[in-house]
C-alpha cells in the first residue's frame, strides 16, 4: 500500500467500487426492512456515505432528487453539534429551515468512529408516511405556512452515546397518525446505518483508517477531474429558459414563473434562478438544497453517464437562487409539496441546456410525479394513509422516443402495485393503463400518459392531490409538439362526474371513484419526419390512434399497413398548411393553435 496521500490506482478502484456497493447495500436494507408503502413499494428514499466534514462520497442507487440534500442537511447538523459528537451518537432532522427539505423527509445520520475519531458518516433520508399537521400524509399543497405542515425536528440526537432519546422518540410517536409505520421506518434507517458501520469496519481493517480517509478524498477529487474535463470538451455558451407552474392552489389560476440562466465557461457551469417568482403562499416553495439537486441533475445530463454522484460534481456547478424566491424560500414558507417545483425546475433547466446542446437534451417530461394521498379512519377507528407518487413519461429524445411508463428521471421511484394497494388500504384499483394520443408528436414521440382509477371503500377520507401541467403543457423541442395536460375527475362516466382542479384537498366518501391522468411528455423534432413504420407500430401498440397518425404525423394506414403514396401526399399538404420555414425551438401549443410563422429560436 502506498502512502495515504497517494493511493495506488488498483487500491483506488477497489475502494471506489466497495464504498459505492456499501451505499447500495444500505439502500437495500431500507427496502427490505421498511414498513410503509412509500418506502418498500415506491422507494422514496436515499442512502449515502460521507466523509467526516459531511461531503458526499458515495450515494446509493436511489433518488437524484436527494443528490444535494444529504450534504446540506448533514453539514447543518455538524455545524450545530460541533465537537459534541461521540461514538454511538445518531443525529436526526427534518426542518427545511435547518438543513432539511420538507417535513416528511427525515434524515438520520450516524458518525462512524474508528480509533476515537470520525472516519465517515452514514446518511439516510426517507419520505415518511405522515409527520402530523393538518392533512393526512403531511404533503398538502394548500398549507400556507410551515407550522401547518407537521412536526419540525431541528438537528437533534436520536441516540446519545448509544442510548436512545426516549423523550424525542415518544414525541415523534405521539404526533403522527400512523406511528407503527413511522417508527418502523425510522428503525429501517437505523438498520441501514448499522450496515454502513459494519462495512466501514471491514474497509478500515483492510486499508487502515488513514488510508480510508485519503481514498474517500481521492474518490471525490477524481470525480471533479472527470467533470472538469467533460465540461471543457463542451462548447462554451449562455442560454436562458422560462417556464410556468400553473398555480399554487391558493392563488388559483395565477401562473408562477421559473427562469433558469445557464452559463458554461471552460471547466465550470453556472445555473442562475434569479428572476424566478417570489416565494408563494401555497406549499410548493423550494428549499435551496432541492433547487441545487434539480440543477445538478440537469447538469449531469450533458456529462458522461458513468460519472459518479458525489461532492466532485458539486465543486464545478454553481447554483444561484436568491433568498425569498420560490427557488430558495425563507420562513415561514410552506414547502410540503415542494416536489412539484423541483420537478418543474428540472424541465426548466433542461430547456436552457437544450438551447446550448440540442443533440443531448430531450423534450419536457410529464412534469414530475403527481402526489396523491388518501387518509382517514376506518369504522373501528384505525388510521389509514395511502401515499402514492405517479410518474411515467419522458420527453422525446434527439435519438429515440421518450420512455413510456418509466419513472421521472428526477425521481427514480417504483410504481405502487395495484395488488399491494388493495391489500393494505381501503381502495380498489379499477384501471392502470396507457392513454393513447397523449405523447407529444415528434420525429421522436413523447412518452404517453398513464391513467389510474381508484374506488374508495371506507366511510370517509381526505383526498389530497398535488399535480400540475394542466394549463402549461409539457413543451416539445425543435418542432416536436407539446404533450397533453393532466386531468383529475371524480366519478368519471357517471351523472355525478366532476372535473377537478390539478391541486386539491377534499373529502371523498364510500364508492367514490377518483381518476388521474398524468400529462403526456413533449415530442422532439418534426412529426412529419417520423418514420412511417414507427407510427404504424405505435398504432399497433395502442399508443397512437389511426386518426392521430394521420392528423399529427401525416401517416395514412390501410388495413394496418402504411399507404406510402397517400402518406407522402398528406405530409406535403400538412407541411404547406403549417407554413414553417424552420422548426420552432420550443413548442408549448400544437401548431394548429399557433399558425404564425416562427423563426428558428422562437417559441410558439
pLDDT digits (tens, 9 = 90+) for 298-355: 999 999 999 999 999 999 999 999 999 999 999 999 999 999 999 999 999 999 999 9
Query: For residues 93 and 186, what is the distance between their CA atoms, to the nearest angstrom?
Result: 12
Q: How confident is the model at residue 602 (pLDDT cuts 50, 70, 90)?
A: very low
pLDDT score, position 321:
98
Has residue 2 got a pLDDT over 80? no
Q: What percentage of the chain exceeds 90 in pLDDT?
A: 92
> Which residue blocks in 106-208 are alpha helix, DSSP H?
166-174, 179-207
pLDDT digits (tens, 9 = 90+) for 26-61: 999 999 999 999 999 999 999 999 999 999 999 998
- Within a domain: 164: yes
pLDDT score, position 93:
97
Torsion angle of alpha carbons 586, 588, 592, 597, nearest 10°?
Answer: -40
pLDDT digits (tens, 9 = 90+) for 513-552: 999 999 999 999 999 999 999 999 999 999 999 999 999 9
DSSP state letter for 328 = B
317-320 and 268-272: which strand pairing? parallel
pLDDT score, position 67:
74
Query: For residues 300 and 290, what is the distance between their CA atoms, to the nearest angstrom?
Result: 15
Domain region containing 173 = 9-226
Phi/psi for 449 (5° steps) reads -70, 155
Q: Indicate the range of 77-86, 407-416, 451-460, 537-546 predicted with least confidence.
A: 407-416
SS3 of residue 286 by DSSP:
coil
Nearest residue to 63 via CA among 44, 77, 82: 44
Query: For residues 419 and 405, what is the distance between their CA atoms, to the nearest angstrom?
Result: 18
Contact at 8 Å (CB) between 562 and 582?
no
- Within a domain: 200: yes
Rounded to 5°, angle at Cα 168 from 164 and 174: 125
pLDDT digits (tens, 9 = 90+) for 228-279: 999 999 999 999 999 999 999 999 999 999 999 999 999 999 999 999 999 9
Higher-confidence residue: 368 or 521? 521
513-517 and 487-490: which strand pairing? antiparallel
User: For 474-489, what is the mean pLDDT?
Assistant: 98
- Within a domain: 49: yes
pLDDT score, position 603:
60
- Within a domain: 106: yes
- Within a domain: 85: yes
pLDDT score, position 598:
43
Q: How confident is the model at residue 120 (pLDDT cuts 50, 70, 90)?
A: very high
- Within a domain: 83: yes
- Within a domain: 16: yes
How many structural domains is the chain composed of?
1
Query: For residues 361 and 351, what is the distance between their CA atoms, to the nearest angstrom?
Result: 8
Cα 369 to its chain centre, rounded Å, is 7
- Within a domain: 363: no
pLDDT score, position 61:
85
pLDDT score, position 595:
52
Contact at 8 Å (CB) between 369 and 519?
no
Higher-confidence residue: 261 or 589? 261
pLDDT score, position 604:
59
Which runs of E-coded beta strand occur in 391-503? Answer: 427-435, 449-456, 460-466, 476-477, 487-490, 498-500
SS3 of residue 451 by DSSP:
strand
Mean model confidence pLDDT for the chain: 95
pLDDT score, position 594:
60
3 state SS for 249-272 = CCCCCCCEEEEEEEEEECCEEEEE
Has residue 490 got a pLDDT over 50? yes
Contact at 8 Å (CB) between 77 and 89?
no
Contact at 8 Å (CB) between 176 and 184?
no
Amino acid at each position: 500500500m502506498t502512502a495515504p496521500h497517494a493511493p495506488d490506482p488498483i487500491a483506488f478502484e477497489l475502494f471506489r467500487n466497495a464504498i459505492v456497493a456499501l451505499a447500495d447495500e444500505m439502500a437495500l436494507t431500507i427496502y427490505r426492512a421498511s414498513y410503509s408503502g412509500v418506502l418498500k413499494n415506491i422507494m422514496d428514499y436515499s442512502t449515502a456515505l460521507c466523509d467526516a466534514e459531511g461531503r458526499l462520497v458515495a450515494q446509493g442507487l436511489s433518488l437524484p432528487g436527494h443528490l444535494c440534500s444529504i450534504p446540506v442537511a448533514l453539514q447543518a447538523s455538524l455545524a450545530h453539534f460541533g465537537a459534541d459528537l461521540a461514538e454511538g451518537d445518531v443525529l436526526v432532522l427534518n426542518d427545511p429551515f435547518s438543513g432539511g427539505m420538507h417535513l416528511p423527509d427525515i434524515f438520520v445520520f450516524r458518525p462512524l468512529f474508528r480509533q476515537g475519531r470520525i472516519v465517515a458518516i452514514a446518511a439516510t433520508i426517507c419520505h415518511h408516511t405522515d409527520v402530523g399537521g393538518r392533512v393526512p400524509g403531511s404533503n398538502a399543497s394548500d398549507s400556507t405556512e410551515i407550522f401547518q405542515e407537521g412536526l419540525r425536528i431541528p438537528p437533534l440526537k436520536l441516540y446519545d452515546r448509544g442510548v436512545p432519546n426516549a423523550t424525542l422518540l415518544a414525541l415523534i410517536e405521539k404526533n403522527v397518525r400512523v406511528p407503527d409505520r413511522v417508527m418502523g421506518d425510522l428503525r429501517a434507517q437505523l438498520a441501514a446505518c448499522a450496515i454502513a458501520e459494519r462495512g466501514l469496519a471491514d474497509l478500515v481493517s483492510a486499508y487502515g483508517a488513514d488510508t480510508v480517509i485519503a481514498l474517500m478524498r481521492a474518490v471525490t477529487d477524481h470525480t471533479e477531474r472527470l467533470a472538469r474535463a467533460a465540461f471543457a470538451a463542451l462548447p462554451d455558451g449562455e442560454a436562458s429558459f422560462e417556464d410556468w407552474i400553473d398555480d399554487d392552489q391558493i392563488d388559483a389560476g395565477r401562473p408562477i414563473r421559473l427562469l433558469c440562466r445557464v452559463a458554461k465557461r471552460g471547466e465550470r457551469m453556472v445555473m442562475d434562478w434569479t428572476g424566478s417568482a417570489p416565494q408563494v403562499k401555497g406549499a410548493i416553495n423550494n428549499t435551496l438544497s432541492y433547487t441545487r439537486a434539480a440543477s445538478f441533475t440537469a447538469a449531469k445530463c450533458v456529462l458522461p453517464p458513468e460519472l459518479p454522484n458525489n461532492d466532485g460534481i458539486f465543486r464545478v456547478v454553481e447554483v444561484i437562487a436568491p433568498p425569498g424566491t420560490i427557488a430558495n424560500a425563507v420562513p415561514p414558507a410552506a414547502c410540503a409539496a415542494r416536489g412539484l417545483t423541483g420537478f418543474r425546475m428540472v424541465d426548466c433547466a433542461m430547456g436552457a441546456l437544450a438551447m446550448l446542446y440540442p443533440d443531448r437534451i430531450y423534450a419536457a417530461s410529464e412534469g414530475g410525479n403527481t402526489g396523491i394521498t388518501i387518509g382517514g379512519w376506518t369504522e373501528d377507528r384505525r388510521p389509514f394513509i395511502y401515499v402514492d407518487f405517479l410518474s411515467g413519461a419522458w420527453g422525446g429524445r434527439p435519438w429515440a422516443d421518450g420512455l413510456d411508463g418509466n419513472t421521472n428521471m428526477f425521481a427514480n421511484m417504483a410504481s405502487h402495485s395495484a395488488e399491494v394497494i388493495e391489500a393494505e388500504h381501503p381502495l380498489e384499483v379499477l384501471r392502470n393503463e396507457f392513454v393513447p394520443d397523449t405523447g407529444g408528436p415528434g420525429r421522436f414521440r413523447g412518452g404517453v400518459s398513464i391513467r389510474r382509477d381508484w374506488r374508495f371503500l371506507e366511510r370517509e377520507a381526505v383526498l389530497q392531490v398535488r399535480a400540475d401541467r394542466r394549463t402549461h403543457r409539457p413543451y416539445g423541442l425543435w418542432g416536436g409538439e407539446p404533450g397533453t395536460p393532466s386531468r383529475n375527475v371524480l366519478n368519471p362516466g357517471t351523472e355525478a362526474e366532476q372535473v377537478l382542479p390539478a391541486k386539491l384537498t377534499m373529502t371523498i366518501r364510500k364508492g367514490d371513484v377518483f381518476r388521474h391522468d398524468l400529462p403526456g411528455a413533449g415530442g422532439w423534432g418534426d412529426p412529419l419526419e417520423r418514420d412511417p413504420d414507427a407510427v404504424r407500430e405505435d398504432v399497433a401498440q395502442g399508443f397512437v390512434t389511426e386518426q392521430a397518425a394521420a392528423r399529427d404525423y401525416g401517416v395514412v394506414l390501410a388495413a394496418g399497413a402504411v399507404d406510402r403514396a397517400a402518406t407522402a401526399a398528406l405530409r406535403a399538404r400538412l407541411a404547406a398548411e403549417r407554413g414553417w420555414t424552420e422548426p420552432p425551438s420550443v413548442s408549448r401549443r400544437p401548431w394548429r393553435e399557433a399558425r404564425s410563422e416562427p423563426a428558428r429560436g422562437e417559441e410558439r
